[in-house]
Amino acid sequence: MPELHRKITPREHTRQQLILAAEKLFAESGIDSVSLRQINLEAGQKNSSAAHYHFGSKDALILSIYKYRMAHVNARRITAIKELEQNHAEKDIHKLIGAIVYPIVKEIDADESGRNYIRFMAQAMGHPQLDLAKLWQQDHSGGMTQIHRLLRTALPNIPEPLFGQRFGLVFEQIVHSLADLEKLRLSTTNTFAVDSGLFVNNLIDCVAGSMAAAISTDTRSALQRLS
């Protein structure tokens, strides 16, 4: 687990304030609609070039947000995987999907800024110019790599091309569904109550079912045409 409670330096504090300010503005307004100047103002920085000084570019700032959050999420995910292995549940599809979902949910619920995190992630995943593959290859991706390996072992009958597609679709569904949940939580016009615990459990059920779904005749035919 990273040192979440160690005393940080003034420089680190400034970087963190800029990261959280950028994440909030990106979540609320979209990545393309926010300037480095707006981020400086939101972070309370008197130096108008603070964001550029600490990160160099908006792309580097986006990467820093991802790393900042994933340090926490990945640590929780690795702990969850170790618990599954200790309980001999590493082939349980439902529990493996839970090891993807629950660490994200805990980050969302950790403090008020967590709600910005999941909406920022949804923005990043839908952005046409961001290299998502580059994000996934960054530090703190070890937990997802392990879950990918464990799911691959648990689902040997799913052909590799389909498995890779399903894994990607599953992660997108998780992120966008949790972002939609936050949108409902924040809505002032929403007229029905949303039980977050029920929503998350139902999401895991749906995603686990998608990952292990039977392959249709049409899909098998399409797969054979590629062979």
Q: What is the pLDDT of residues 155-167, one digit of tens each?
A: 999 999 999 999 9
State how far the Cα of 203 lies from the Cα of 133, in Å rounded to an integer. Answer: 24
Report the helix count and the strand count for the chain, using DSSP H and E: 11, 0
The confidence band for 18, taking pLDDT boundaries of 50, 70 and 90, is very high
What's the whole-number average pLDDT of the chain? 91
The encoded tokens of residue 115 equal: 């709600």
CA distance 187 to 190: 6
Average pLDDT over residues 190-194: 71
Q: Which residue has the higher pLDDT, 10 or 51?
A: 51
Mean pLDDT of 140-148: 91
Overall size of the chain counted in residues: 227
Architecture of domain 10-226: Orthogonal Bundle (1.10)
The first and second tokens of residue 209, run together, are 């079912």
Supply the pTM of this predicted model. 0.89
Is the predicted pLDDT of residue 185 greater than 90, yes or no?
no
Position 1 pLDDT exceeds 50 = no
C-alpha–C-alpha distance, residues 76 and 87, integer Å: 17
Residue 181 pLDDT: 93
The residues, ordered by sequence, that sit 6+ positions from 182 with a Cβ below 8 Å of its Cβ are 108, 115, 118, 119
Whole-angstrom Cα distance, residue 17 to residue 4? 15
Of the candidates 206, 174, 212, the one whose C-alpha atom is nearest the C-alpha of residue 92 is 212
Which two three-digit tokens encode residue 53?
A: 């000084």
CB 227 within 8 A of CB 165: no
Least confident of 46-50, 139-143, 214-218: 139-143
Structure token pair of residue 33 = 């609609």
